[in-house]
Amino acid sequence: MGAGLGIGGAVTEAWTAIGGSMADTAKSVAGLSVAPERLKAIQEDYLKQASELWNSTLEQKAPTGLRDKRFAAPEWRDNTAGGFMAASYLLNAQTLQRLADALQGDEKARQRVRFAVQQWVDAAAPSNYLAFNPEALKKAVETKGESLQQGMQHLMHDLRQGHLSQTDETVFTVGQNVATTEGSVVYENPFFQLIEYKPLTAKVHERPFLFVPPCINKYYILDLQPDNSLVRYLLSQGHRVFMVSWVNADESLAKASWDDYIEQGVIRAIEVTRDIAQVDQINALGFCVGGTLMATALSVLASRGVEPVASLTLLTTFLDFSNTGVMDVFVDEAMVRMREMSLGADSPTGGGLMRGTELATTFSFLRANDLVWNYVVGNYLKGEMPPAFDLLYWNSDSTNLPGPMYCWYLRHTYLENKLCKPGAATTCGVPVDLGQIKVPVFIYGSREDHIVPWDAAYASTQLMSGDVTFVLGASGHIAGVINPPEKKKRSHWVTGSGVRRLPASAQDWLASAQEQPGSWWPVWSEWLSPHAGKMVPAPRQAGDKTHPVIEAAPGRYVLKKA
């Protein structure tokens, strides 16, 4: 494909390069093939459109159909060569994707071919290369080369820091303009610090609320800035709020296991929160992997005859890993075994670290145009500084994971999907049975989530024994969750709450749901309030005699860089 594919060449040769080689390659990949009639139809469409494009270019007509935002600038339309490159690229990209979709054979192999094609298509866009990007070239001329000099400086800076800049990271400082809600660290062990936030109301609900964020990211996604902080919102609703701040793992935790994160992480956080608040039960929330950890911990506690949680909230969480979306492309027995041998418990050293930068890069390439190539063009070809954006600053603040913990998670969830099968997985010495969780559960999914597909989040509604409420929000994995009511953005879908058993099919649920404007937060707050107990005077200080204040929030752990 590439920026100049088709320039000065015959259309039929271009088709041979695209369609023929793609079909031949497919035959050698797990027995994949394209039905001859489908191949012929794609070929005929390609030849027709390519001929029309070539004739239009010869007639000096402006290209049509350049709706892709990468080619939205007038320089692409006003420049004959640039417009032709963009239009031919889009046609070739569409054809490759149609061919990938037409493959017949093993589904996992088809997914991998589609993913590889998408990565190649994204990387080959003419906008990504200075010589083919009329926007960048025009700016270089207008600035007398200064934009290129700035771009080179940005490239050298990113090479030194070890990751692509997605925002102006100099604007943000954790504890100063992100993660600013006032609170205190009241407990710490090698795995996490526990933050207790200062109440915002004179009275608070008797039962405190515990947040368990994902351990593959920093906790402050839930407390970015005052106007989009879920923590601050919950405090304003009269809740006493605690937060787990996971440590950014280093070599001292290289042998830590999934069981350690359950026992010394989630279960310990629940115990300390109960002790400080002097209550038998708390309300708890798990976000993404934090929800997987939380549900596993509650199953372990149920097996021990302990029910310390009055209600459970799961945000964009996998419990049933039957449908992992594009992530399934990466996971098979060979890949998991390789990880186990290199950094898991089976490695020569008995452990290692899964580097946060590797995880962050993987997630970025799931949306390569938005999270990779967009910044390559802006930062390096145009020499522009990316705008300050708190969410992208958080996204770049990556965390390491202990290898054994990460490998257990990969094998038992993504590869073997054991957590949703009663007794199939053992954690902390007991079989995991999510059906033992009998408390009311609020489950949230994001409709455009590419990490936890919303129907996969919905699948959790079938696994636990208590009353279940499911809410679907618009947008993606993060933007859908962090949606404060004051912004009056997006929408959400709801049905009746507190249902013993929701439909097994996510699509059946959606067919009966009603779309409502704005944030889902008020729906959740209304659901949570009856489970939070009576109102009592807010505590005057954080912690207690056994758990005195260690330091002010956000604490040391969140400041540690990968």
CATH number at residue 310: 3.40.50.1820
Q: Is 423 left (phi over 0), alpha (psi -120 to 50) or beta?
A: left
Beta-bridge partners for 203 = 537
Structure tokens at 233: 């919102």
Structure tokens at 413: 């969830």
Distance CA(366)–CA(229), nearest Å, equals 26
Q: Strands 103-104 and 203-205, how do they pair?
A: unpaired
| 82 and 218 share one domain | no
| 126 and 212 share one domain | no
What is the reported pLDDT for 7?
32
User: Could you tell me where the DSSP H helices lie in 201-354?
Assistant: 230-236, 258-260, 268-277, 289-303, 333-343
| 426 and 489 share one domain | yes
3-class SS of residue 84: helix
Q: Strands 209-212 and 514-517, how do they pair?
A: unpaired
User: Is 288 marked active-site?
Assistant: yes
DSSP letter string, 386-410:
PPP-HHHHHHHS---EEHHHHHHHI
| 115 and 225 share one domain | no
Question: Residue with structure tokens 């492309």?
Answer: 329
Distance CA(487)–CA(518), nearest Å, equals 8
Q: Is residue 371 part of a domain?
A: no
Which of these, 339, 502, 466, lies nearest to 409 by C-alpha position?
339
Distance CA(66)–CA(72), nearest Å, equals 7
Q: Strands 209-212 and 282-287, how do they pair?
A: parallel
Structure tokens at 482: 């962090």
What is the reported pLDDT for 67?
82
Distance CA(321)–CA(325), nearest Å, equals 9
Q: Is residue 2 part of a domain?
A: no
Which of these, 333, 351, 332, lies nearest to 343 by C-alpha position?
351
Distance CA(547)–CA(242), nearest Å, equals 13
| 214 and 111 share one domain | no
Amino acid making up residue 537:
P
What is the reported pLDDT for 220?
97
| 238 and 301 share one domain | yes
b (16+ CB within 10 A) / e for 9-36: eebeebbeebbeebbeebeebeebebee
Q: Would you say 284 and 293 are in contact if contact means Cβ atoms under 8 Å apart?
A: no
Q: Would you say 225 and 180 are in contact if contact means Cβ atoms under 8 Å apart?
A: yes
Beta-bridge partners for 194 = 187, 244
Domain assignment of residue 344, given as a range = 183-355+400-512+520-559
What is the reported pLDDT for 217?
92
Q: Is residue 127 part of a domain?
A: yes
| 415 and 487 share one domain | yes
| 118 and 234 share one domain | no
What is the reported pLDDT for 62?
65
Q: Would you say 16 and 92 are in contact if contact means Cβ atoms under 8 Å apart?
A: no
b (16+ CB within 10 A) / e for 241-250: bbbbbbbbbe
Distance CA(398)–CA(356), nearest Å, equals 5
Beta-carbon contacts of 339 under 8 Å, excluding residues fewer than 6 positions away, are 354, 403, 406, 407, 410
Distance CA(405)–CA(263), nearest Å, equals 12
Point out the domain boundary residue: 134, 149, 165: 134
| 345 and 412 share one domain | yes
Distance CA(433)–CA(444), nearest Å, equals 21
Q: Is residue 327 part of a domain?
A: yes
Say how many domains are in the chain. 2
What is the reported pLDDT for 366?
85
Q: Is residue 506 part of a domain?
A: yes
Q: Is residue 379 part of a domain?
A: no
Distance CA(293)–CA(301), nearest Å, equals 12
Per-residue pLDDT of the chain (562 residues; tens, 9 = 90+): 333 333 333 334 444 444 455 555 555 455 788 899 999 999 999 999 999 888 888 877 766 667 889 998 988 888 888 888 899 999 999 999 999 999 998 888 888 899 999 999 999 999 999 999 999 999 999 999 999 999 999 999 999 988 899 999 999 999 999 999 999 999 999 999 999 999 999 999 999 999 999 999 999 999 999 999 999 999 999 999 999 999 999 999 999 999 999 999 999 999 999 999 999 999 999 999 999 999 999 999 999 999 999 999 999 999 999 999 888 888 999 999 999 999 999 999 999 999 998 888 888 888 899 999 999 999 999 999 999 999 999 999 999 999 999 999 999 999 999 999 999 999 999 999 999 999 999 999 999 999 999 999 999 999 999 999 999 999 999 999 999 999 999 999 999 665 667 999 999 999 999 999 999 999 999 999 999 999 999 999 999 999 999 999 999 999 998 8
User: Could you tell me where the DSSP H helices lie in 162-282?
Assistant: 230-236, 258-260, 268-277
Q: Is 56 exposed, middle or buried (0-12, 13-18, 19+ CB in 10 A)?
A: middle
Beta-bridge partners for 216 = none
| 125 and 204 share one domain | no
Which of these, 472, 467, 438, lies nearest to 457 by C-alpha position?
472
Q: Is residue 5 part of a domain?
A: no
Q: Strands 426-427 and 430-431, how do they pair?
A: antiparallel
3-class SS of residue 128: helix
| 411 and 539 share one domain | yes
Structure tokens at 407: 């490998």
| 278 and 414 share one domain | yes
Q: Is residue 392 part of a domain?
A: no
